[in-house]
Structure formats: structure tokens, C-alpha cells
């Protein structure tokens, strides 16, 4: 057994790729998950230190969110300068390179099998820093998810791993990014599975958990284990708080639905030049910041002020309504900012306002104010993302109070349902449907086929041959006992791949064996040739597909090319490849059954 495990052939990269194509390659995926989590944690340390370095230069006392301490003219001009820099930096690039953050990660995961774009990843570094330091209403979890997912995906792309494992790696980067941002490893796992991957499977769950935990450990070694928000004391809810919490959840659900609708308005104003939309977001943010600088940045310092009971009524209103509008308008204007952090701040302010109202109306029955603050944060997050489980887990990890879960469940679910029903909207990050009545990851067939690489199902017993060969050559080919013959209809294999009507064909080796047997029975010497395109047998038109592809990609390609089989090719050098196997429509259907 030990000798088998240490066999050099099993330790090769080629064998590693082959094992990852299977649906149950858990040991290999877990190893990659640890690497992914550690890399994401290191990237988050670098990103947060980059923000800190910028704060040392631009902000009073080096505090990244000390906008209140800046002169009015400075804090008003900073958002305008930020959008100008973003416009100059992104304006000359192609439109696809401007897509950043969680939305971009979901798009690459859903429609590109987790293959991440380099230009977008590089842009995320400086756009994220400029947005946060420039005082736009933005969060750092969007850059964290994008940077983590991109770096993790590149591990798989560099190793040329099959796309089914690449998708898991992207999920690992997402979880580790959220975990490193909020110091909430469980919420990171649930966020990745509920918002990005949209599925719960053992193959995905275990690696994502490992990556999230590893990312949290790496960042805690550098920043410490303190949560994102410091709770002033233990929250002790009571059953009499439930009616008030439900009313608060209804109000927050309406706010969340309005936020999503407002953020989506940008899709109706694409005719407005991009630079004008950028200036609108910058000028509007600067105008509000003139009076309420608390709306700038992420706003975590404002949450701590609210939890300490030191926020005035007008500041709470500015955070609940002003920050909601500013964040939504910033997104609608085409500025790729993170929205999870701002939604937590908005929810905290809305919850505090409701808590003050409840205390004023029925002081003897209303619970302590911080209960409403924390419930408001979770309710707004769950309603905006339509990810109730992630919001509840974040609430548990931020408060370290399991007694609060019942009240969190009622608040989050009520708010999420209200947003969905009242505004007829789905989660903020649900992708626009592309040529389908249903999101690809909401189709059970495509979900199942995306978990497996073609390498796990294809028939590897293939011999490549020209169409015309000698009888003696046919006998040599059959001695290798192939199942399929891949027949090139012309000598130049590269042209065969590109010219219509010249693609290879597949023939069962048994058909050639039958023709050879009939030829032997005639007693004719084997000095002639055989045309494999003319002997009796069932031939299949073929189209190429890469060895890294998933079964979902293979299934789609079969439909697009209108063929019944694909030959799987492994690119060994530019313009050069070798055939690794053949996969038929029947093999895919049998696997799914």
C-alpha cells in the first residue's frame, strides 16, 4: 500500500490533474484549499496595509475612516478626485476590464468556469484603494473577494487544472476573502456557498471550509483575533422583543428592496456617458459629506459609535438613508465598489433608529438598543444579498452569543422575504440572465455536470490515424486494443480543427476489425490500403474540447456544434496538442443518470 502511494506515477502533475477531474477528489482539493486560504490571507494583509499606508499620508492620525476630522473643503473634494482617478485609470481600458468585485467573480464563476481575468484583478487593487481612501461609500469585502478569488483561481490556471476544480478554488478564495475581512470564517463559508457557488455539496463544502479557516488564521496572526465590531456588552434578548423586531425587519426589507432597485437604475441610463455618471457619484457624495462625513468610507467607526450609544438622531438618519442612497447611486453610476460593508452600516443605523423609537413609545417593553442594532445589520445584509444563512452566521460570529440566533432568524428571514415580495427583486448579486430563462447555476443538470471534468468520463482508449492506411498498419493499430479510432480527413491536423467539413471523425475500432476480418477471408495479400471513411461502420462527427473543461462545457459544445461526440485535446505547446480521449453525448447522459 505504501509503495503504491509513493509510486512516482501517482505523484506526477498529470495524474494529479486526472484525479481532480473526478467528483470525489477531496484530498487533492483540500490541499489546494489550504494553499488558497493562505494566499488569500496574505493578499488581504497586503491590501489592508496598503490602505493603512495611504491613510498615513492622507488622513489625520493615519486613521483610514477619520473623514470627520478633515476640513470641509478637503472631504468634499476627495470623492470627486477619487472618481476622476478611477475614470482616468479605467476609461482607456476595454469595458470588460471595468467589471470588478463580487459581481465580476460571480460572472466568471457562472459563465467562464472560474477562469479569472488578469486585467480586472490588477485593476481591483488600485480601484479598491482609491474608493476607500477617496471617501466613496464603499466596502473592502468586494475587493477582498475579487482579489482572493482571482489569486486562488490562478493557482488552478497556472497548474492547468480541470475547470471543475478551478471553480472550487474560486469558491475557496471567496470564503477566505470574507473570512479575512470580517474575521468570520463560518460566514465566509456560507457566503461563498450561498451567494457565489449557489450549491451545498461535500466536495465543495470541505475545501471551502479549510480555505476560510486558513485565511482567518493568517490574518489573525497579523491583525489579531478581534472581530470587525467591538460589542460593548452581552446582549440579552427577550420574547417581548419579537414583535418590535418583526416590525423593524419589515421596514428594513423595504429599504433593502429599494436599495437594489436604485442600484439597478444604472442599467437604464447606459446612454449617459460614463464620465458624467462618475462625476455625479463623486459630487453627490461630496455634497452629503459636507454636512455628514460619517457617510464616507466603509463606516465601521460609525457602527462602533452607534453600539456605544453616542450617535445623534440626525447622524443615524444620514447613515440609514443618506448612505443607502449614496451607495446605490455609486453602483448605479458604474463605480465598482463593495456593498456588503455599507449595508451593515445602513442596517445598524436603521436598527438603532427603530430601537430609539421603541424605547420612546414603550420603554418598559422595548429591549436594549444594541439588540436592534445587531438585528438591523443582519437583516439588511440578508435582505440585500438574499443570503439569510450567511447573515445569521455573521451575526453569531460577531456577537459570540448563541442566544441571539432565534431573534436573528426571525429578523433576517422577515426582511429578506419582505424585500423579495414587496419589490419583486432577487439578491443584489444575482446575474442578469444571458440567453436563458434561468441562471446556469440554478439548473440542476448544469450544476451536476459542472462538478466533473471531462477527464473523469472520457474514453481514453483512442488511436489517432489518417483516413487511408495500409492493412498492415490497421493490424498494428488493433494490437493496441483501442475502443475508438480518431480519423483525420487530411494530413494537417491544425487545419482539420479549423476548416469546416474537415474536422476529425470517430469510428469504433470494432468496425475496422470487422473489415480486416472480411479482408482476411478473401485471401488477398495485405499489400493494399484501406479507407476508413468508406468501410461499413457508424461514424461520429467530432468537435474539439480542452481537457480542462467540465461536463457542462462538453454538453453545451455538443449542442452548439450539433455533433454527438467530442475529442478531448491536451494542449502541449502553442498550436500543438495531443488527443487524450473521446467523450460522447451518451457517456455524459449515462453519467448524469
Residues 278, 205: one domain? no
Range 566-579 average pLDDT: 76
- The answer to whether residue 234 is domain-embedded is no
pLDDT band at 493 (very low <50, low <70, confident <90, very high): very low
Q: What is the mean pLDDT of residues 531-548?
A: 85
Q: Residues 481-496: what's their mean pLDDT? A: 69
Q: For 208-245, what is each residue's pLDDT tens digit?
A: 999 999 999 999 999 888 776 666 666 777 787 888 89
pLDDT of residue 3: 52
Within this chain, do residues 247 and 303 fall inside the same structural domain, yes or no? yes
The reply to whether 394 and 521 lie within a common domain is no
Together in a domain, 142 and 212 = yes
Write 397-402 long-range contacts (CB < 8 A, 24+).
397/182, 397/183, 397/184, 397/185, 397/186, 397/187, 397/227, 398/182, 398/184, 398/227, 398/228, 398/229, 398/231, 398/374, 399/231, 399/235, 399/374, 400/227, 400/231, 401/234, 401/235
3-class DSSP assignment, residue 257? helix
Domain co-membership, 207 together with 287: no
- pLDDT for the residue numbered 124: 95
pLDDT category at 351 given cuts 50, 70, 90 is very high
Q: Does any domain span residue 6?
A: no
Do 406 and 460 have their domain in common? no
Q: What is the mean pLDDT of residues 88-105?
A: 91
What percentage of the chain carries pLDDT values higher than 90?
A: 40
Task: Give the integer Cα–Cα distance in Å for 352 and 105.
Answer: 33
Sorting pLDDT into bands at 50, 70 and 90, what band is 432?
very low
Q: Would the pLDDT of 593 be above 70?
A: no
Q: According to the model, what pLDDT value does residue 490 have?
A: 62
pLDDT confidence of residue 396: 86
More confident of the two residues 84 and 442: 84
Average pLDDT (185-212) is 86
Q: Give the end of a domain, one of 430, 464, 490.
A: 430
- 483/540 same-domain check: yes
Question: Exposure of 438 by Cβ count < 10 A (0-12 exposed, 13-18 middle, 19+ buried)?
Answer: exposed
User: Once rounded to an integer, what is the mean pLDDT over residues 400-419?
Assistant: 90
Top pLDDT among 138 and 442 is at: 138
> Chain-centre distance of CA 398, in angstroms?
23
Q: Are residues 175 and 255 in the same domain?
A: no
Last residue of a domain, one of 223, 255, 278: 223
166 and 249 assigned to the same domain: no
What does the pLDDT read at residue 536? 85
Q: Is residue 272 part of a domain?
A: yes
Residues 351 and 499 in one domain: no
Answer whether residue 228 is part of any domain. Answer: no
pLDDT at 175: 95
Within a domain: residue 446?
no
Cell digits of residue 114: 472560474
DSSP letter assigned to residue 499: S
Domain range spanning residue 20?
A: 13-223
Q: Examine residue 443 and state whether it is found in any structural domain, yes or no.
A: no
Q: Report the number of distinct structural domains present in the chain.
A: 3
CATH number for position 66: 1.10.3080.10
In this structure, what DSSP letter does residue 523 have? T
Q: Domain end: 371, 395, 430, which one?
A: 430
* Window from 54-63, 382-391, 484-493 with minimum mean pLDDT: 484-493
Q: Check if the beta carbon of residue 544 is closer than 8 Å to that of residue 497.
A: yes
pLDDT at res. 433 = 41
Residue indicated by cell numbers 471551502: 208
* CATH number, domain with residue 477: 3.10.580
Cα–Cα distance for residue pair 335/282, rounded to 1 Å:
10
Can you tell me the mean pLDDT for 440-456?
A: 71
User: Do residues 192 and 244 share a domain?
Assistant: no
Question: What residues contact residue 125 under an 8 Å CB cut-off, 6+ apart?
Answer: 47, 50, 143, 147
pLDDT digits (tens, 9 = 90+) for 120-172: 999 999 999 999 999 999 988 899 999 999 999 999 888 888 888 888 899 99
Assess if residue 126 is contained within a domain: yes
Structural domain contains residue 435: no
Residue 480 has pLDDT above 60, yes or no: yes
On average, the pLDDT of the chain sits at 85
- 148 plus 279 within the same structural domain: no
Amino acid at each position: 500500500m505504501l509503495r503504491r502511494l509513493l509510486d512516482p506515477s501517482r505523484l506526477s502533475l498529470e495524474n494529479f490533474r486526472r484525479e481532480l477531474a473526478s467528483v470525489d477528489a477531496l484530498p487533492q482539493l483540500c490541499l489546494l484549499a489550504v494553499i488558497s486560504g493562505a494566499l488569500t490571507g496574505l493578499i488581504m494583509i497586503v491590501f489592508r496595509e496598503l490602505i493603512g499606508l495611504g491613510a498615513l499620508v492622507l488622513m489625520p492620525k493615519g486613521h483610514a475612516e477619520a473623514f470627520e476630522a478633515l476640513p470641509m473643503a478637503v472631504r468634499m473634494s476627495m470623492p470627486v478626485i477619487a472618481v476622476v482617478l478611477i475614470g482616468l485609470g479605467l476609461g482607456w481600458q476595454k469595458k470588460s476590464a471595468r467589471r470588478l468585485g463580487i459581481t465580476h467573480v460571480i460572472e466568471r464563476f457562472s459563465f467562464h468556469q472560474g477562469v479569472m481575468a488578469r486585467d480586472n484583478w490588477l485593476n481591483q487593487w488600485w480601484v479598491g484603494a482609491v474608493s476607500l481612501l477617496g471617501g466613496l461609500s464603499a466596502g473592502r469585502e468586494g475587493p477582498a473577494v475579487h482579489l482572493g478569488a482571482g489569486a486562488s483561481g490562478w493557482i488552478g490556471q497556472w497548474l492547468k487544472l480541470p475547470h471543475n476544480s478551478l471553480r472550487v478554488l474560486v469558491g475557496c478564495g471567496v470564503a477566505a476573502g470574507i473570512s479575512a475581512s470580517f474575521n468570520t470564517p463560518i460566514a465566509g463559508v456560507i457566503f461563498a456557498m450561498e451567494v457565489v457557488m449557489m450549491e451545498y455539496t461535500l466536495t465543495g463544502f470541505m475545501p471551502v471550509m479549510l480555505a476560510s479557516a486558513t485565511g482567518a488564521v493568517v490574518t489573525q496572526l497579523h491583525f489579531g483575533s478581534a472581530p470587525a465590531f467591538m460589542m460593548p456588552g452581552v446582549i440579552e434578548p427577550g420574547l417581548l422583543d419579537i414583535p418590535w423586531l418583526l416590525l423593524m425587519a419589515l421596514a428594513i426589507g423595504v429599504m433593502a428592496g429599494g436599495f437594489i432597485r436604485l442600484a439597478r437604475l444604472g442599467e437604464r441610463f447606459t446612454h449617459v456617458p460614463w464620465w458624467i455618471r462618475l462625476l455625479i457619484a463623486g459630487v453627490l457624495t461630496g455634497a452629503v459629506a459636507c454636512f455628514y462625513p460619517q457617510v464616507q468610507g466603509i463606516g465601521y467607526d460609525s457602527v462602533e459609535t452607534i453600539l456605544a450609544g453616542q450617535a445623534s438622531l440626525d447622524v443615524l438618519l444620514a447613515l440609514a438613508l443618506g448612505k443607502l442612497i449614496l451607495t446605490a447611486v455609486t453602483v448605479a453610476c458604474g463605480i465598482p465598489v463593495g456593498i456588503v460593508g455599507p449595508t451593515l452600516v445602513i442596517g445598524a443605523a436603521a436598527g438603532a433608529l427603530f430601537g430609539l423609537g421603541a424605547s420612546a413609545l414603550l420603554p418598559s417593553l422595548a429591549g436594549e438598543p444594541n439588540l436592534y442594532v445587531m438585528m438591523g445589520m443582519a437583516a439588511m445584509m440578508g435582505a440585500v444579498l438574499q443570503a439569510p444563512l450567511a447573515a445569521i452566521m455573521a451575526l453569531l460570529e460577531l456577537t459570540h452569543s448563541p442566544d441571539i440566533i432565534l431573534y436573528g432568524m426571525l429578523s433576517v428571514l422577515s426582511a429578506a422575504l419582505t424585500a423579495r415580495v414587496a419589490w419583486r427583486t432577487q439578491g443584489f448579486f444575482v446575474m442578469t440572465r444571458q440567453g436563458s430563462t434561468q441562471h446556469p447555476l440554478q439548473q440542476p443538470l448544469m450544476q451536476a455536470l459542472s462538478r466533473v471534468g471531462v477527464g473523469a468520463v472520457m474514453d481514453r482508449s483512442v488511436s489517432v490515424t489518417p483516413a487511408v492506411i495500409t492493412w498492415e498498419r490497421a493490424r498494428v493499430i488493433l494490437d493496441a486494443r483501442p475502443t475508438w479510432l480518431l480519423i483525420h480527413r487530411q494530413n494537417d491536423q491544425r487545419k482539420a480543427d479549423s476548416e469546416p467539413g474537415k474536422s476529425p471523425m470517430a469510428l469504433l475500432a470494432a468496425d475496422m476489425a470487422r473489415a480486416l476480418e472480411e479482408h482476411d477471408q478473401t485471401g488477398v495479400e495485405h499489400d493494399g490500403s484501406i479507407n476508413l471513411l468508406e468501410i461499413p461502420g457508424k461514424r461520429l462527427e467530432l468537435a474539439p474540447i480542452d481537457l480542462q473543461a467540465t461536463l457542462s462545457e462538453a454538453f453545451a459544445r455538443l449542442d452548439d456544434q450539433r455533433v454527438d461526440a467530442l475529442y478531448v485535446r491536451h494542449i502541449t505547446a502553442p498550436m500543438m496538442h495531443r488527443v487524450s480521449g473521446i467523450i460522447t453525448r451518451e457517456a455524459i447522459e449515462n453519467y448524469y443518470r
